[in-house]
Amino acid sequence: MVGKPLRWMMTNHLNQKPLSLSGIPWFCYVISIASTCIAVGLQWDISWHMTIGRDTFWTPAHMVIYLGGILGGFTSAILVFNMTFFDKNEGMNSGVKFWGFTGPMAAWVCIWGTVAMLTSAPFDDWWHNAYGLDVEIISPPHMVLAAGFIAIVFGAMLLTLVQQNRSNVSNINLYSWLYTYTGGILILLMVILTTEYSFTNKHHSLEFYKISAIVYPVVLVAISKSSKLKWPATIAALICMFHRCIMVWVLPLFEGQPLLAPIYREITHFVPPPFPVLLFIPAIAVDLIIIKSDKMNDWVRSAAIGFTFVSLFFVVQWYFSEFLLSESARNWFFSGHFNKPYWSRMGPYEFKFWEYDYRGFGPPIPLTPVSIAGLFSVTLIAAISARVGFWWGEWMRQVKR
C-alpha cells in the first residue's frame, strides 16, 4: 500500500532513532527548508512586485512560496499518518490527539497553516477582482496567508524544539541551532509583515516604534526563554538580519524591468528590500536580562525588557536611519538609493523622514512625531509584548510532543 521511500520516511518519526544527517531526522531539515522557502519566496515576491509588477500564479517567487507550503503540509501529513496508523504503540502516547488522529503538536500547527494558505488563495483572487489588485502587504486575504505561513514556521520551530526538550535525545545543541534558525525566520516574517510601517523614511515616527514594540519583544523573549543556546535571541536576530542582507545584496544582481504603467523611475534590476533594522542590539539586552534575572518575577523582567528594548532600539535605529537616508548609504551594501518601487515618484522626499503616510487612495495620514509620552506608551507596549513572550516561551520550553 505504501511505497518503499514513504515507509522509510515514516519509520523516522519522532520517537525512533533518526536515520539522517548528523543524527537529525529528515523532517526537521525539510520543515526548516520549508520555512526558508516561505521567507525567501515572500521577499522575492515583494521585490518582483516592486520591479516587474505584473505577476501570475506561476511566477518563480510564488513557486518558492508554494514549495514551502507544500513541504510543510506534506511533511506534517506524513508524520500524522504514520503516528496514527503505523505506530500505534509508541506514537499514540507521544503525540497529541486531534479529531481522532494523533500527531506531533508541530504537525497540527503546520497543517493548520497549510489550510490557511490554501484558504487565502481563492479569497485573494476574489479580493483582486472586487477591489483591484492590491499593491499592499496588509490586506485581509494577505493576513490569512500570513497566518498560514507564520503557522508553518512556528510548526517548524516546534518540531525541532520537541527534540531539544527531550533530555534523552542526542545532538541537543544541533536541534537548538535548528530551532533558533527557524526562530530567526519567524522574526524575518515579522520584518516582512511590517514592511509598510518600517520604511527607513518612517523611522522618526512613533508608529514605527509602536509596531516594532508589538512584534519583536514577544518573539525575542520566547526564543530566548526556550532555546538552549547561550545567546538565542541575539543569534535569531542576527540570522534574520543575515537573511535580509543576503536579499539586499543578491536581488539587485538580477536584471528586471517594470511591465506595468505608469513607471515613475528607471529600474533595470530587481529592487531589494530596505536594509534591515539593527534588531540584534536590543536582542543582546533581551538575552542578558533573561540570563541574569532568572529568579525575578516575569512581570518585572518584562518591564525591564520593555524599557531596555525601546531605549536601545530607539537610539540605535533613530541614528542608523539617518545614516541610511544619507549619501553614505547609497551603495550596494546598504541599498539606500534603489529600494523604491517603479510606481513611486522620484524626488528629494526619498531621502527625508516622512511626516505623512501615503496610501493607495485617500488623503495622506499624518505620522506622529516621537515624544517622551509617546515613547512611554511604546515602552508599555513592549513590556506587554515581552510578558506574552514569557508565557509563550515557558510553554515552548516544556513542549515535548
- List the grid coordinates of 169: 535525545
The reply on whether position 119 binds another protein by CB under 8 A is yes
CB of 258 to another protein, least distance (A): 5
d(CA 53, CA 265): 13
21: helix, strand or coil: helix
- By C-beta, is 22 or 56 nearer to another protein? 56
Closer of 262 and 348 to another protein (Cβ): 262
Q: Is 358 in the site for another protein (CB under 8 A)?
A: no
- Taking CA atoms, 60 is separated from 42, 44, 45, 47, 83, in Å, by 11, 9, 8, 12, 34
Kindly determine how many residues on this chain lie close enough to bind another protein according to the rule CB under 8 A. Answer: 51
Minimum Å distance from CB 97 to another protein? 7
97 binds another protein (CB under 8 A): yes
* Given 123, 318, 338, 391, the residue binding another protein (CB under 8 A): 123
Which of the ranges 178-186, 194-202, 379-387, 393-401 carries the binding residues for another protein, by CB under 8 A?
393-401
Q: Which of 54, 230, 292, 352 binds another protein (CB under 8 A)?
A: 54
Q: Which is nearer to another protein, 139 or 195 (CB)?
A: 139
343 binds another protein (CB under 8 A): yes
Find residue 356's DSSP bridge partners: 366
Residues in the chain: 401
Which one of 8, 20, 85, 122 is in contact with another protein (CB under 8 A)?
122
φ/ψ of residue 88, rounded to 5: -65, -30
Residues 163-182 that bind another protein (CB under 8 A): 166
d(CA 238, CA 184): 8
Tell me if residue 205 falls in helix, strand or coil. Answer: strand
Please list, in sequence order, all residues whose beta carbon lies within 8 angstroms of the beta carbon of residue 130, skipping any fewer than 6 positions away. none
We find the least distance from the C-beta atom of residue 144 to another protein, in angstroms, to be 8
Q: Which residue has the cell 526619498?
A: 350
Does 323 participate in binding another protein (rule CB under 8 A)?
no
Q: Does 85 bind another protein (CB under 8 A)?
A: no
Pick out residues in 236-275 that bind another protein (CB under 8 A). 257-264
Tell me the angle at which helices 172-193 and 206-226 cross, rounded to the nearest 10 degrees.
170
Q: Would you say 78 and 10 are in contact if contact means Cβ atoms under 8 Å apart?
A: yes
Does residue 29 interact with another protein by CB under 8 A? no
Closer to another protein by CB, 124 or 287: give it.
124
CB-CB contact of 119 with 141 (8 Å):
no
Is position 86 an interface residue for another protein (rule: CB under 8 A)? no
User: Which CB atom, from 278 or from 384, has the smaller least distance to another protein?
Assistant: 384
Which of 298, 311, 324 is CA-nearest to residue 388?
298
Is 94 near another protein (CB under 8 A)? yes
User: Smallest distance from the beta carbon of 108 to another protein, in angstroms?
Assistant: 5
Q: Is 241 helix (H, G, I), strand (E, B) or coil?
A: helix
* Residue 93 binds another protein (CB under 8 A): yes
Question: Interaction with another protein in 178-217: which residues (CB under 8 A)?
Answer: none
Q: Does the footprint of another protein cover residue 372 (CB under 8 A)?
A: no
Question: Residue 232 CB, nearest distance to another protein (Å)?
Answer: 19
The whole-angstrom separation of Cα 215 and Cα 268 is 34
Grid coordinates of 328: 553614505
**E strands along 58-150, which residues?**
96-98, 101-103
Reference 311, options 373, 374, 375; nearest CA is: 375
The reply on whether position 56 binds another protein by CB under 8 A is: no
We find the least distance from the C-beta atom of residue 162 to another protein, in angstroms, to be: 9
Could you tell me the CA-to-CA distances from 7 to 3, 87, 89, 208, 270 in Å, in that order? 6, 12, 17, 50, 43
- Which residue of 24, 28, 61, 109 would you call a contact of another protein, by CB under 8 A? 109
Contact footprint for another protein (CB under 8 A): 14-15, 53-54, 90, 93-99, 105, 108-109, 111-112, 115-116, 118-119, 122-123, 126, 128-133, 135, 139-140, 143, 166, 257-264, 343, 361-362, 395, 398-401
